[in-house]
Structure 1
C-alpha cells in the first residue's frame, strides 16, 4: 500500500528517468542479517593521568624515579609501580648506563609513540556487531532501530528484495579492511581489526524498510526500478537488482492505465489535470452553482490518494464515507483504527462499505474484524457494511469528494506485483459533494448484504 510519504517522493523523483513515467512507489524491505563477529584486534586505550604525565616527563629527560616522584607530587612507591607496568607493556626500559645507586629509565620506540598519541595499544579478542545487507552482499552501517522483524515486514506487505545468496555468512565473507572502514567512521571507536575468527547470526534476517520506484515507458516495454533509502536513491542497490534481472526478476509488471471516472461536462470543463498538478490549489467557480459558490476540481494521481485518506481519517469534522471493494491489513491496521475512532469520538458520522462480490475472499479477515468491532462500539455514528457487489472507489469527507480507480482500503496490485496508474477526481464544491454523499449512502442501503 502506498503511504502518505509517497506523494513527497513522487514530487522528488517523478522526473528521475528520462522518457519514463513514475508508475508506482512500492514499500520494500532489504534483507539485513545481524552478525556477531569474533575478531582479534588492537585496542587503543586512553592512558591514566599518572601514566601519561610520567611518559611525557621521561620523554623530556626526567629519568630518575625520585625526580619523577618530586615533579609529579606522588610518593615514590606508586611511581615505581607505574614504571614497572610501563616496562611490562614495553613502553619503558632501564637505561643501560644507569648505576645501582642511580637507576634511570628511557622510553622505548613504542613508549615514544604512546606518549605522543596519549593512548596505549593492546591486543584483544572481541565480539563485535555488524549488519550484513543481503542484497548488496556486504556489511553496511545501518541503524538497528530501523530494522523490522520478518513478521512485521509480511504484515506491512513489504516487497522483499532478493539476497545475493541464501547461504550463511562466513568469516571469509567479511574482511578486516571492510570492518575497519566502518569502525573508522565512528569517532568513539578505538579498535583496529586484525583478523576475523568467526561469524554467527540468526537464521532469519530482519528488513530495512525502503521504497521501490517503478518507472515505465508509454508502451510498458521498458520498466526500470530504483531503490530509495531514507529519502535518497541508492545506486548500489539499483545496480545489484539490475545484475539479477531488475523488474522482471522481481515479478513487476505494468498494466495499461485504469480508466478514470468521468465527471459531468461542466466539471470536466474546469478540471485541472494531473499534468498541471502544481495548480491544484487554484479555486474555480462552478458554472450553474449557487451565487458565489467556489471550489476546485483537480486530477488526483496514484501518489496523492494515501495523503487524502490520511487527511480524511485525521481531519474530517462532520462526515466521512469510504467505499472500497477490498480491505487489507496493510491499510486497515491498529493505527488506522485509532485515527478513525478519534473521528467518531469527535462526533463525525462515518460510513464504510466494501465487497466486490458476494463470494469474494480477497479481504483480510483481521482487517475486516477491526472495523466490525469499531462499528459495534459506536452503532449510532459508525456503520460498516458488506455489499453484494461494488466497484465504486469513493472517498467523501466534509466538503471533499474523490472518485477514482484507486482501491482506498487495499492495494490490489500488491499480491501479483502488477501496477498501473490510478487516477481520480477531487471536487470541493459543496453542492456536488452533498449530491454524491446522498447518492452513495442510498447505494449502500440498497446493496447491503442481509
Structure 2
C-alpha cells in the first residue's frame, strides 16, 4: 500500500510540476453513472473503407489489373495489393483471369450511399455529475458498502419515460456513430426504455500538499492508475455552481496548535531529543532528496551540480537522523499499513497504545489478524484510555472492547488494559521499530464524517530508543 501512495505522489509531481509534493492520504469514492438500456431505431451508413471503395470502382469501370489501378489512383503497387488482399479475403473481389467484383462487392458498393434502418437495444452510461453520454468504458465498479458513493446531480431518467432521454439524443447519435466504424448515423426514435439504474465507477481521491511546509491540502482524482482530469474539472465546476458534492469528504484541517503540543510532549517524554523542528527538517530534506532522485527531475541542474546537491542533502539528513533517532516520517495513509505490518511480522512482542478504540478500525479483518498473531505465541499489549470531559470527543465502542476482552480471556499472551489517561499513540514491534504519532491506531480510519486531518508520525529504528519506548508504554499500566 505504501508503494501505491508513492506511485500517486510521482504522478502528481509530474502532472502538476510540483517536485516536492507529498501524498498524505487517499480513499476510494464511487463516481455515479446512470446505466440506461434503450431500444432504438436509427439509420446507419454501412460504409466500406475509402480505399476499398476506390479500388472496387476501378475494377467495375474496367481496370482489371493491379498496375492499372495503381497508376490510375497514383498510389504504390504494394498499397493496392494490400487492399485487394483484404477485399478478396472478404469475398468482395475475386481473382480469375482478371479481377472481378462479386455480387457481395456490388451490394456493398451500392450500400455506400444508402442508409439502412437498424433496430436494436443498446446500453449507454450517463455521467450523473455532468450529463455526458458514453456507449462504453472500462468500468471498475464499486458498491455502496465499498466506498463513499456520491449522489448524482443530473436527474436520473425514469424507466418508461422516453421524454427523460430526449436531451441526450445528440450524444446517443454520436456514440452510435463510433461503433463498428460507422461514418454516419441518424437516430429516428427511441422505441422503448428497458432499464435504468445507478452504477458507481471507482475513483481514488488522493490528498496531497504542494510541499511539506504547506498548510493547505489539495486533491487529485485517479482511476485505473491514471489522473482523471475530467472528473476533477466536473467536481470543481459543480463547486463553483454551489453543488458541493464532496463536502462530507473534503473537510481538511491540519494539526492544530494543541495537537502539535501533545505530539511534541509525547516525543520529548518518550524519546529524548526529538523536537518538532527536527521532524519538519527530516520531512523537508527527505522530500527534496526524493525529488532529486526522480529520473526526469523538474530541476534543470547540470549533472555535477545535481550530484553535489543530493550528496549535501543526504549528509544533512543523516546527521539529523543520527541525532534524533528518526528513521522516517509517516502521513495519514501509511499508519494503518504499519499497524498490519507489525501484526504480521512481529516475532516476540507487540505493543499498541491508543486513547480510543472503535469498531471501524477494530473490525473483522483486524481481529482475525490479531488472533493469528496471538496463535503464534506473540506477547501482545494493547493499552487504551483517556480522561475526557463529559460529552466531549469520541467515545470507545463497547462492541469492539468486548471482542478484545474475549480474546484476552482466550489468550494468556494478550494483555488488554484500560489505563487512567493517555494521549499517546504508539506502536512497538519487537526491537525492530517503534512509532510515535498523532494518529489514533485503534479508532481512526480517515472517516469521512470527521474533519480531515493530516496525521503525522515518526518511525524509530534505533534498538535502545525502541526499548525505551516500550518501557514507557508499560509504565502506563502501573
TM-score, normalised to structure 2, is 0.61
User: 1:244: how far off?
Assistant: 1.8
Q: Alignment length, in residue pairs? A: 374
Please identify, of 331-340 and 247-256, the stretch whose mean Cα deviation from structure 2 is larger. 247-256
User: 1:427: how far off?
Assistant: 0.7
Aligned to 2:107: 110
Q: From the superposition, tell whether residues 205 and 327 of structure 1 become closer, same or farther in structure 2 (CA, over 3 Å).
A: farther
Aligned to 1:401: 434
Aligned to 2:367: 337
Q: Deviations over 1:309-366 (max 9, x none)?
A: 2322332222222222334455443333333333223332222233444776545566
Counterpart mapping for 1:7-156 below 5 A: 7-13=6-12, 16=16, 24-40=25-41, 109-112=106-109, 125-140=119-134, 141-144=136-139, 146-153=140-147
Aligned to 1:436: 469
Q: Which residue of 281, 286, 295 maps to 1:277? A: 286
Matched-pair contact (CA < 8 Å) for 2:23–2:206: no
Aligned to 2:235: 241
Q: 3-state SS of the aligned residue for 2:145?
A: helix
Matched-pair contact (CA < 8 Å) for 1:136–1:163: no
Q: Which residue of 312, 315, 330 maps to 2:342? A: 312
User: 1:29: how far off?
Assistant: 2.4
User: 1:401: how far off?
Assistant: 0.5
- Quick one: distance in 1 between partners of 2:320 and 2:229? 47
Please identify, of 311-320 and 331-340, the stretch whose mean Cα deviation from structure 2 is larger. 331-340
User: 1:273: how far off?
Assistant: 0.9
Q: Deviations over 1:229-251 (max 9, x none)?
A: 22222111111111122699333
Q: 3-state SS of the aligned residue for 2:366?
A: helix
User: 1:404: how far off?
Assistant: 0.7
User: 1:431: how far off?
Assistant: 1.6
Matched-pair contact (CA < 8 Å) for 1:323–1:393: yes
Q: Deviations over 1:205-262 (max 9, x none)?
A: 5452422435579785x76432122222211111111112269933334334352433
Please identify, of 398-407 and 346-355, the stretch whose mean Cα deviation from structure 2 is larger. 346-355
- Quick one: distance in 2 between partners of 1:322 and 1:186? 59
Higher helix share: 2
Q: 3-state SS of the aligned residue for 2:146?
A: helix
Q: Which residue of 158, 163, 166 maps to 1:172? A: 166
Q: From the superposition, tell whether residues 171 and 128 of structure 1 become closer, same or farther in structure 2 (CA, over 3 Å).
A: same
Aligned to 1:255: 253
Q: 3-state SS of the aligned residue for 1:314?
A: helix
5+ residue gaps, structure 1: 46-58, 62-90, 92-104, 289-293
User: 1:403: how far off?
Assistant: 0.2
Q: From the superposition, tell whether residues 391 and 127 of structure 1 become closer, same or farther in structure 2 (CA, over 3 Å).
A: farther
User: 1:123: how far off?
Assistant: 5.2
Matched-pair contact (CA < 8 Å) for 1:30–1:210: no
Matched-pair contact (CA < 8 Å) for 1:351–1:384: yes
Matched-pair contact (CA < 8 Å) for 1:150–1:204: no
Matched-pair contact (CA < 8 Å) for 2:343–2:369: yes
TM-score, normalised to structure 1, is 0.64
Please identify, of 262-271 and 429-438, the stretch whose mean Cα deviation from structure 2 is larger. 262-271
Q: Deviations over 1:100-122 (max 9, x none)?
A: xxxxx9669535468x9xxxx97
Matched-pair contact (CA < 8 Å) for 1:38–1:128: yes
- Quick one: distance in 2 between partners of 1:128 and 1:332? 45
Matched-pair contact (CA < 8 Å) for 1:32–1:208: no
Q: 3-state SS of the aligned residue for 1:273?
A: helix
Over aligned residues, Cα RMSD in angstroms?
4.9
User: 1:147: how far off?
Assistant: 1.4
Q: 3-state SS of the aligned residue for 2:470?
A: helix
Q: Deviations over 1:284-323 (max 9, x none)?
A: 89989xxxxx976333333432332232233222222222
**1:211 aligned onto 2:208:** no
